[in-house]
Chains A and B, each alone.
Chain A
């Protein structure tokens, strides 16, 4: 059964977003997404300081069989990519909501967060896809 933590926000492209106390957000891909991709072998992350628009491809996750773009759920500036993924891309598989986070971003407008899906809506989305 795929995990969908309640406290996170989601996108239709299977990214999750967590608001942090300092006003930044942490972004990753969902348990469902990592399961679909299979074992990841590489994660390409954006450089710190890069400005991204909402919906822009900002990272790539790669398995042996597929490569998928990860889209920015919010507009903003990249604070940091997860440095641990350079050597351990499998963290995205083993702990997608924890150690396997992808990017920390400072949103241009924190209000954009409210427009994302909540866990109930994302659960519904997955049910509809099946």
Chain B
């Protein structure tokens, strides 16, 4: 099985990759010795080839979209077009100092301005800020804008944010970051929000409700207009968590549903890379009532030139969220992707994502798997529950996940949302071919057969990955977070 030593273990004293640093150590005799480092930091001493080989080998230990079907529900793991990366990495974009004059960055600013306009079009909103650096920051910005809106109206008591129990964990956490209190409401048996529960919790303290639509249960919230009426009538605003925008792109607008603010995960719907966990982008779009509060900077147009708008232009803004303007390079990638798709391509995204999900759902249902919401139309994702299999055989959703790895598939999202027991949340995305989906059905069916026949063998999965199941308890009890070894002094 493939393994790779730590880079520190490949280090030898005195070995260098010298072409990357100045040939000599420049004098620093003007600095008092009290400010200088006495011992060099622990960094490896390796050659350039060793570095290239090591990190190439490490990369080969990963599953990725480029190598495997990756049906990770709620994460929209679709193909990341190469053009987005190549063009965003043009030297003319990389060489831009963030504090250079606007006149030097017109090409970047025009692209970002265009992106703002495109995002208005796909959400139906009137204002956009591109600065939030991830979905969670978009959520923070959204709730902070809502707080600022209420406060600007002298409405100081609105500190409660209503969140359905199926929501992403970031929703309540973001509300807390904004100094608000998260109030959970239950989901009804059909997967829609429990309206009676909602009516009971709204009131003079309601700042907002945060919703994902389609929800994390993979169904469209059909009574969204009624929810909007209830919340607006109580004086609260509606926050749209755009995690699942891929499902409705060009089919419905968050603004049309009654939402006041939306964040969009560009790394999901607009196919910027997940990069092994970031960078993401959580741009926000708002309707006119929240526009004054958008986080800065924003790209504006003045006298035919593009400019960064800051405090001076936007005095009611909630402020800055980053050192400069956020993840510009990611924004360019999303812009390039959107221009490649165009208006028809965007509707095809939601159309084929939904087709693939419903096809996979139908095939798994006829193969005998339990669909969590069988009477509902799947959106771009759906849930199967393995509760019965677990009861009958002892095989859990986690066992299925690990066995899928052995069959060359990344696992779907497991144990989320929390309210469906032993669940797999499956999102195939529009970029997968039917053959891949058929193979996935075959693999899940085989695994279920194995569970019935020899659950012990199933629990030994994965067997083909670089490591077998890992001891999470040991990892947490005997924390080992940094390499403590010494560089070898002899070969």
Contacts and interface: CB of A to CB of B under 8 A. Distances in A.
A5 B327 CA distance: 57
A62 B475 CA distance: 13
A64 B475 CA distance: 9
Q: How large is the interface on B (under 10, 10 to 19, 20 to 34, 35 or more residues)?
A: under 10
A89 B477 CA distance: 8
B25 interface: no
B415 to A, nearest CB: 8
A41 B472 CA distance: 9
A122 interface: no
Q: Is the interface of A mostly helix, strand, loop or mixed?
A: loop
A77 B476 CA distance: 31
Interface string A12-43: 00000000000000000000000000010110
Contacts of B473: 39, 41, 64
Contacts of A64: 472-473, 475-476
Nearest to A39: B473
Contacts of A90: 477
Contacts of B476: 41-42, 62, 64
Interface string A41-57: 11000000000000000
Contacts of A89: 477
Nearest to B477: A41
Interface of B: 472-473, 475-477
Given A89-B477, A90-B477, 11 more contacts: A39-B473, A41-B473, A41-B476, A41-B477, A42-B476, A42-B477, A62-B476, A64-B472, A64-B473, A64-B475, A64-B476
A42 B473 CA distance: 10
A41 B474 CA distance: 8
B55 to A, nearest CB: 29
B135 to A, nearest CB: 22
Interface residues of A, number: 7
Contacts of A41: 473, 476-477
Nearest to A38: B473
Nearest to A41: B476
A81 to B, nearest CB: 18
Contacts of B475: 64
Nearest to A90: B477
Nearest to B473: A39
Contacts of B472: 64
A44 to B, nearest CB: 13
B343 to A, nearest CB: 44
Interface in A73-95: 89-90
A2 to B, nearest CB: 19
Nearest to B475: A64
A89 B473 CA distance: 11
B442 to A, nearest CB: 30
A64 B477 CA distance: 9
A39 B477 CA distance: 10
**Which residue, A41, A62, A90, has most C-beta atoms of chain B within 10 A?**
A41
A10 to B, nearest CB: 25
Contacts of A62: 476
A61 B491 CA distance: 46
A87 B22 CA distance: 48
A51 B49 CA distance: 61
13 contacts: A39-B473, A41-B473, A41-B476, A41-B477, A42-B476, A42-B477, A62-B476, A64-B472, A64-B473, A64-B475, A64-B476, A89-B477, A90-B477
A90 B477 CA distance: 9
A31 B119 CA distance: 53
Nearest to B472: A64
Nearest to B474: A41
A64 B415 CA distance: 14
A7 B476 CA distance: 34
A39 B473 CA distance: 7
Contacts of A39: 473
A62 B477 CA distance: 11
B411 to A, nearest CB: 16
A98 B421 CA distance: 32
A100 to B, nearest CB: 15
B478 to A, nearest CB: 10
A64 B476 CA distance: 7
A64 B491 CA distance: 39
A62 B472 CA distance: 13
A76 B476 CA distance: 32
A62 B473 CA distance: 11
Nearest to B415: A65
A31 to B, nearest CB: 19
A60 to B, nearest CB: 14
A89 B479 CA distance: 13
B295 to A, nearest CB: 31
Interface in A82-126: 89-90
A90 B474 CA distance: 11
B310 to A, nearest CB: 40
Contacts of B477: 41-42, 89-90
A68 B383 CA distance: 27
A47 to B, nearest CB: 22
A42 B475 CA distance: 12
A42 B477 CA distance: 7
Contacts of A42: 476-477
B477 to A, nearest CB: 5
Nearest to A64: B472
